[in-house]
Chains A and B, each alone.
Chain A
Amino acid sequence: MEPILVLDKVDKAFGGLHVTDNVSFTVNRGELSAIIGPNGAGKTTLFNLITGYLRPESGTIRFKGEDIVGLRTQKIVARGIGRSFQITSVFPEETVLNNIRISSLSRLKQTTNFVRPAHRFRRATDAAHHILDSLGLTGQAERPAFELAHGDQKLLDIGVALALEPELILMDEPTAGMSPEERVLTRELIRKLWKEYNLTMVFIEHDMDMVFGIAQVVRVLQQGALLVEGTPDEIRNNKEVITAYLGEEL
Chain B
Amino acid sequence: MNSSVKLKETAPWIVLILIFSLVPVLNTSDYQLTLANHMLVWGLFAVSFNMLFGQTGMLSFGQALYYGLGAYFTGMLVDRIGPEWFLPGMGMGIIAAGLLALAIGPLTIRVTGVYFTVLTLAFAQLAWGITFKWYEFTGGDDGIQGILPPGILNDPVVYYYFTLALVLASIWFLRRIAHSPFGLTLRCIRQNPERVRFLGRRVRRNQLGIYIISGVFAALAGGLVAGVDNSIHTDMFFWTTSGEVILMSVLGGIGQFFGPFLGAGLIILIEDVVGAYTEYWSFIIGAIMLVMVILFPMGVLGEIQKLRARMKGRHAKREITGEGELGTDPRTR
Q: Are A98 and B192 in contact, CB atoms less than 8 angstroms apart? A: no
Query: Contact flags (1/0) for A44-81 with B, using CB distance below 8 Å?
Result: 00000001000000000000000000001111011000
Q: How far is the CB of B131 from chain A (nearest CB, A)?
A: 32
Using known A-B contacts A83-B198, A94-B188, determine if residue A113 contacts B180 with beta carbons closer than 8 Å.
Answer: yes
Q: How far is the CB of A92 from chain B (nearest CB, A)?
A: 6
Q: How far is the CB of B82 from chain A (nearest CB, A)?
A: 37
Q: How far is the CB of A207 from chain B (nearest CB, A)?
A: 24
Using known A-B contacts A92-B191, A102-B188, determine if residue A117 contacts B322 with beta carbons closer than 8 Å.
Answer: yes
What is the total number of residues of chain A having a CB less than 8 Å from a CB of chain B? 42
Using known A-B contacts A77-B200, A144-B317, A164-B200, determine if residue A89 contacts B192 with beta carbons closer than 8 Å.
Answer: yes
Q: How far is the CB of B88 from chain A (nearest CB, A)?
A: 26
Q: Are A95 and B321 in contact, CB atoms less than 8 angstroms apart? A: yes
| A112 interface neighbour in B1, B181, B199, B319, Cβ under 8 Å | B181
Q: Are B322 and A160 in contact, CB atoms less than 8 angstroms apart? A: no
Using known A-B contacts A83-B198, A106-B200, determine if residue A91 contacts B192 with beta carbons closer than 8 Å.
Answer: yes
Q: Are B195 and A77 in contact, CB atoms less than 8 angstroms apart? A: no
| A118 interface neighbour in B1, B181, B198, Cβ under 8 Å | B181
Q: How far is the CB of A75 from chain B (nearest CB, A)?
A: 8
- A124 (CB) vs chain B CBs: closest residue: B181
Using known A-B contacts A77-B199, A77-B200, A110-B181, determine if residue A147 contacts B191 with beta carbons closer than 8 Å.
Answer: no
Q: Are B176 and A114 in contact, CB atoms less than 8 angstroms apart? A: yes
A105 contacts B by Cβ under 8 Å: yes
CB-CB under 8 A from B315, the residues of chain A are 147
Q: How far is the CB of A60 from chain B (nearest CB, A)?
A: 22
Q: How far is the CB of A85 from chain B (nearest CB, A)?
A: 8
Q: Are A73 and B182 in contact, CB atoms less than 8 angstroms apart? A: no
Main SS of the interface on chain B? loop
| A111 interface neighbour in B1, B181, B318, B327, Cβ under 8 Å | B181
Q: Are A91 and B195 in contact, CB atoms less than 8 angstroms apart? A: yes
A122 contacts B by Cβ under 8 Å: no
| A117 interface neighbour in B179, B317, B320, Cβ under 8 Å | B179
B102 contacts A by Cβ under 8 Å: no
B328 contacts A by Cβ under 8 Å: yes
- A120 (CB) vs chain B CBs: closest residue: B1
Q: Which residues of A, 187-224, contact B by the 8 Å Cβ criterion?
A: none
Query: Contact flags (1/0) for A129-169 with B, using CB distance below 8 Å?
Result: 00000000000000010110000000000001100100000
Tell me the total A-B contact number using a CB cutoff of 8 A: 115
Using known A-B contacts A51-B198, A102-B188, determine if residue A93 contacts B180 with beta carbons closer than 8 Å.
Answer: no
Q: Are A115 and B195 in contact, CB atoms less than 8 angstroms apart? A: no
Most buried by B among A92, A102, A147: A102
Using known A-B contacts A90-B192, A116-B180, A147-B315, determine if residue A73 contacts B185 with beta carbons closer than 8 Å.
Answer: no
Complex Cα distance, B200 from A161, in Å, reads 11
B89 contacts A by Cβ under 8 Å: no
Q: How far is the CB of B34 from chain A (nearest CB, A)?
A: 33
| A93 interface neighbour in B183, B185, B319, Cβ under 8 Å | B319
Q: Are A101 and B184 in contact, CB atoms less than 8 angstroms apart? A: yes
Query: Contact flags (1/0) for B165-190 with A, using CB distance below 8 Å?
Result: 00000000000110111111101100
B272 contacts A by Cβ under 8 Å: no
Query: Contact flags (1/0) for B291-333 with A, using CB distance below 8 Å?
Result: 0000000000000000000000001011111110001100000
Using known A-B contacts A74-B202, A93-B319, A93-B320, determine if residue A118 contacts B183 with beta carbons closer than 8 Å.
Answer: yes
Q: Are B322 and A89 in contact, CB atoms less than 8 angstroms apart? A: no
Complex Cα distance, B9 from A84, in Å, reads 35
Using known A-B contacts A106-B199, A164-B200, determine if residue A121 contacts B181 with beta carbons closer than 8 Å.
Answer: yes
Complex Cα distance, B187 from A102, in Å, reads 10
Complex Cα distance, B188 from A111, in Å, reads 11
| A164 interface neighbour in B1, B191, B192, B199, Cβ under 8 Å | B199
Q: Are B181 and A74 in contact, CB atoms less than 8 angstroms apart? A: no
| A94 interface neighbour in B197, B199, B202, B321, Cβ under 8 Å | B321
CB-CB under 8 A from B328, the residues of chain A are 93
Q: How far is the CB of A49 from chain B (nearest CB, A)?
A: 14
Complex Cα distance, B185 from A248, in Å, reads 50
Using known A-B contacts A91-B188, A111-B185, determine if residue A117 contacts B180 with beta carbons closer than 8 Å.
Answer: yes
CB-CB under 8 A from B200, the residues of chain A are 74-75, 77-78, 106-107, 164
Q: Could you give 27 example pairs across A and B, Cβ below 8 Å?
A: A73-B198, A77-B200, A83-B198, A92-B191, A92-B192, A92-B318, A93-B320, A94-B187, A94-B321, A102-B188, A103-B199, A105-B181, A111-B181, A111-B184, A112-B181, A113-B182, A114-B182, A115-B176, A116-B180, A118-B181, A118-B184, A119-B323, A144-B318, A144-B319, A144-B321, A161-B198, A164-B200
Query: Which 7 A-B pairs have CB atoms at the shortest separation, nearest pair first?
Result: A77-B200, A114-B182, A78-B200, A106-B199, A117-B179, A93-B318, A114-B180
Known: A91-B195, A114-B176, A147-B315. 15 other contacts (CB 8 A): A74-B197, A77-B198, A82-B198, A91-B191, A92-B191, A95-B322, A106-B185, A107-B200, A114-B183, A116-B180, A117-B322, A118-B183, A119-B323, A146-B318, A161-B198
Using a CB–CB cutoff of 8 Å, the interface residues on chain B facing chain A are: 1, 176-177, 179-185, 187-188, 191-192, 194-195, 197-202, 206, 315, 317-323, 327-328
